[in-house]
Amino acid sequence: MLKKLCNDYALRGYTFEFISKILLRRKEKNNFIFQTNQFDSIKEILTKYRLQSNSPVISKQIDFLKEEGLKCDIIAFYCEERTIKEIVLFEVKTKYHSVQRDYYEMCISNHQFMKKSKQAGIQTKIISIVLFENWKFSFNIYPYETSPIKTYSNYKINKKSYKQ
């Protein structure tokens, strides 16, 4: 089977989330960087890796994430001896090099989650992946709040089947 990764958006997204996690771990020298789709909740991550908080600020951020759920692609915990000192959320965005677009596309609910996270004091970032020929790609990290975002919604109401 031959797959064209540039056209299979779901597979491409998952693949580059995994690659981003690996590259972030290497760059940051931090093993507490996780793909959120591999866990059911933040509580599962904290319990499995025995991460804790001694800070009221971090505890409040964790409570926020427990309440909101994990609607980002990658979460990073910066720790000292398994005590969380900082949390950073990442959204991974990929595009093929020939696509002329100066913004990132994101569904409305994820965009709102990232904005709320920033308001809760959690750092938010975008990992931008641009795919080139011959298996080459660029990997860049940008602050979420300064990145241009275009939102979309997949939610559609079929008016014929909708009952009031």
pLDDT at 161: 41
**pLDDT of 52-85, one tens digit each?**
999 999 999 999 999 998 899 999 999 999 999 9
Q: Residues 38, 152, 95, 110: is their CA dihedral positive or negative?
A: negative
All residue ranges of the chain with pLDDT < 70 are 6, 154-164
The predicted model scores a pTM of 0.89
DSSP 124: E
Q: Exposed, middle or buried, 113 (CB in 10 Å: 0-12/13-18/19+)?
A: buried
pLDDT at 121: 96
pLDDT at 155: 63
pLDDT at 10: 84
